[in-house]
Amino acid sequence: MGRSRIDLMSKKFGKLYVIGEATPNKQNQSQYLCLCECGKQKVIGAGSLRSGGTQSCGCLRRIPFWEEIKKQQKPIRSEYDEVFDRDLSPSKRKELKKAYDEFWDSLNNPELVHTLKMMLV
């Protein structure tokens, strides 16, 4: 006698909405077609959905990477601020600091910031 199936249709798990049934996997386990809040569709096993093992299409893994880059920007700025503070007159230091701050503030693109940081290493 098989186990009774739990209907997951129209339920939400993390960022995923179950929108349809998919064919069972090789172990004959139930799978569902899910729509992520980011817009991607992905087939995910019922067990992974119910256990909380899968919360998104993978977009949640990508978010912390960009957040980490934003966090790393401040230490780099601090390091360069120290360089600007060495052996400069107060007026020249202020002028360079302003230009440096304007440069980093103008970079709202995380990919560009990451690329530039890799070039600085």
| pLDDT tens-digit series, residues 72-100 | 655 555 555 555 555 667 777 777 777 77
Query: Which residues are within 8 A (CB) of 54 and not within 5 positions of it... i.e. 6 or more apart?
Result: 13, 14, 16, 44, 45, 48
Helix, strand or coil for residue 31? strand
Report the pLDDT averaged over residues 62-74: 61
- pLDDT for 98: 77
- pLDDT for 42: 94
Quote the pTM value: 0.49
What is the residue-averaged pLDDT of the chain? 76
- pLDDT for 71: 62
- pLDDT for 60: 75
Domain edges within the chain: 12-51, 60-120
Angle at 119 (CA atoms; ends 115, 121), nearest 5 degrees: 120
Per-residue pLDDT at 25 exceeds 50: yes
- pLDDT for 1: 47
- pLDDT for 31: 93
Per-residue pLDDT at 103 exceeds 80: no
Whole-number Cα distances in Å, 113 to 21, 38, 102: 41, 23, 14
Distance (Å, whole) CA 66 – CA 115 = 12
Strands 12-13 and 16-22 come out as antiparallel
